[in-house]
Amino acid sequence: MSKRVVHTQDAAPPGGPYSQAVVAGDFVYLAGATPHRLDRSLTPGGFEPQARATFDNLSAVATASGASLADAVRVGVYLLDLDNFAAMNEIFAEYFPTEPPARTTLHANLPGFEIEVDAVLYRPRS
């Protein structure tokens, strides 16, 4: 099985020494996306704009890997404040409108932002 590191300038760069995604066989492992913009500044405006920016970053990395969020089989959502759970569900449904993936949502002590999301995609090679 081969492994390919994915990097795109269409999503915020990693905040540390890790890859935005790794393609391994038929799977794509997306690192945690955050609500940072391309210049690493934080998306302003509170939870909803940050959540949309996070899912947009995740989507951009998925696209760079040759897949899309429609290929997601598992998503992990990490929330600074669980009071945002209902709002996150509404936004999540916009990005995963049909056949949503398995998901875990956890409270997390995030460093200065409201949400982080990672995912595993299944994209069979032809």
CATH number for position 8: 3.30.1330.40
Q: Quick one: average pLDDT of 76-103?
A: 98
The total number of structural domains in the chain stands at 1
Q: Is the pLDDT of residue 125 over 80?
A: no
Strands 27-33, 3-6: pairing kind: unpaired
> How far, in whole angstroms, is CA 105 from its chain's centroid?
13
State the residue range of the domain holding 46.
3-122
Burial of 27 from C-beta contacts in 10 A (0-12 / 13-18 / 19+): middle
In angstroms, the Cα distances linking 120 to 20, 38, 43, 45 are 12, 23, 24, 28
pTM of the predicted model as reported, rounded to 2 decimal places: 0.96
The three-point CA angle 25-123-50 to 5° equals: 110
- Tokens representing 26 are 């038929």
Q: What is the reported pLDDT for 124?
A: 85
